[in-house]
Structure 1
């Protein structure tokens, strides 16, 4: 909880950037006198007290970047992390990585520690349930922040994927294969990315005037075990869906494993589409159809965005970057070849 006004508050009151406020408080000669006076007046009006000793410590140039990742059990985030680390290392930065395992408590503790260690910047994929206000709070610390995969509003640099488009594309593919009863596995209530992916699925179904039963939208953990649970739920439905769009490849791989355990094959008993195109996707049995946006590309763009923030001055500060990659569908056996079984699915 904040104990008093922040640099962010002063910037808003004075109508300038956070970088400008920081430079004024440090008595930098780079800021025009008129602007400096406006910032100081805003600070006085808000009752802001500048801690010069702490600022001197913070002013020491750091070459460490903090990376906070929500789920390293998901191979996609490992691939993303490798790309981020590679680009930052080439620029002379070392990385301090933390895994939150979707825990808000762990995330709070990790961010506090990284702030204390004076990281030069942060790249973060927020834990489930993170309030959007956290992005502004981190920015008020004077630490550049880039979010990956999980947006938290338009006022912070964000690198992600056009989820709605991608899941509409995946659903259209299944409709094109002749499926009319299609489930969505991996719905997470109150979670922005899940909402976007579900909306893409629903929009494609509506475009073809296909009904969606409430129980076809299946809320399961975003893990292989969640995929196994989804398959069991689907085969209990009467009549059951003949295809399923999965939140990610982790869920989809769980679906494939459970189908195999049941003596059934994806693409015949149930058409399956995943998302992320992790390395294992083309080696599953059968190979998995999945959405691809490129973890390496996204990690590279996230790193370059942060490096640009670290090199810019208050006078040339750019608007927030909002980059959302348009995914492609990689079609493999898991979503095709089910024609013989569709009519008899029940």
Structure 2
């Protein structure tokens, strides 16, 4: 069977070959009616556009390399899904890499991207203790966009969560509901997300003439057991605490356990002294299925993905674009736990 060509499509649609080419490349000012006619001709003839061959001829690529280090991080997974969805909407495909370290494995990943002809790279940073990017990423010769949950000091194109805003928003909400003894649990001492949120926590307290007390901000390992233990100790030593800000999903689950261990309950009523309000920074459907639905400040993960995809495409179209920093604020989702 003869292979259907762009010439056949042009004849079928009654337009020029160049018009079909522009429609396929989504370039030029082509009327909606002409575009519809070309697509109808393609469908009638069974034409399949060979994107790889077209990119080779034009010395371009519709591939974007995406590096995800941590598949256990729900924020990263949601961001990844949003990036893929947005890039596919723009006719780009994703080439996924998961290097096991920031040295040789990351270097091999970037080399593989280059060999596959990717046009640019999106890097989902996973080290919340690092203030700068891995050396291999800093030296990446391809257009690069970084997505991070913690502030990076490198001059790079960055899409980031505003952790300080999120904690400030959460704290002000609790104070306005009548809470005066609020604690922050979880996160390692050197966790940069924790440090940024504590700044927001402290600034909200200061707005209401309150002082951040270090004994009410216990750090702990990233596990439910560790969070449960520090929550129990915290509530036993400070029985006037009525609300907890939880650093992570593990801190939420551990916090619930610790609250129950000291004989208190989870809830938003500040006037019931046995209740402790719980508020976090990410939706957790599996918690909502088994406990009072969870109040949180959204992580803006979907918008983060859309912004990262949009920024890498802008960089491809505007190579001289100065480094961009996009900081995304979360919004409060009020449910039953606070």
Q: 1:297 aligns with which of 303, 307, 313?
A: 303
Work out the CA distance in 1 between the residues paired with 2:186 and 2:310.
Answer: 31
**For 1:324, what is the secondary structure of its paired residue?**
strand
Deviation at 1:284, TM superposition (A): 4.6
- 1:48-197 equivalence runs, <5 A: 64-90=63-89, 91-98=91-98, 106-117=101-112, 118=114, 119-126=118-125, 127-132=127-132, 134=134, 138-148=137-147, 149-153=149-153, 155-197=155-197
Deviation at 1:152, TM superposition (A): 1.3
Structure 2 residue aligned with 1:287? 293
| Deviation sequence 1:79-121 (CA, Å, 0-9, x none) | 1111112223343323213175xxxxx2334321222211543
| Residues 260 and 323 (structure 1), Cα distance of their counterparts in 2 relative to 1, 3 Å cut | same
**For 1:334, what is the secondary structure of its paired residue?**
coil
Any unmatched runs of 5+ in structure 1?
1-59, 101-105, 336-346
Q: 2:329 aligns with which of 326, 337, 341?
A: 326
| Residues 76 and 281 (structure 1), Cα distance of their counterparts in 2 relative to 1, 3 Å cut | farther
TM-score calculated relative to the size of structure 1 = 0.68
Q: Which structure would you say has the larger Rg?
A: 2
Deviation at 1:183, TM superposition (A): 0.8
| Deviation sequence 1:184-239 (CA, Å, 0-9, x none) | 11243333322111100111112222233322111123443443233223223144
Structure 2 residue aligned with 1:37? none
Work out the CA distance in 1 between the residues paired with 2:166 and 2:261.
Answer: 29
- Whether the aligned pair in 2 keeps the contact of 1:253 and 1:284 (CA below 8 Å) is no
Work out the CA distance in 2 between the residues paired with 1:107 and 1:266.
Answer: 41
**For 1:270, what is the secondary structure of its paired residue?**
strand
Aligned length, in residue pairs: 267
| Deviation sequence 1:230-261 (CA, Å, 0-9, x none) | 32232231445221111233422332244356
Work out the CA distance in 2 between the residues paired with 1:299 and 1:284.
Answer: 29
- 1:264-275 equivalence runs, <5 A: 264-267=264-267, 269-275=275-281
Any unmatched runs of 5+ in structure 2?
1-58, 268-273
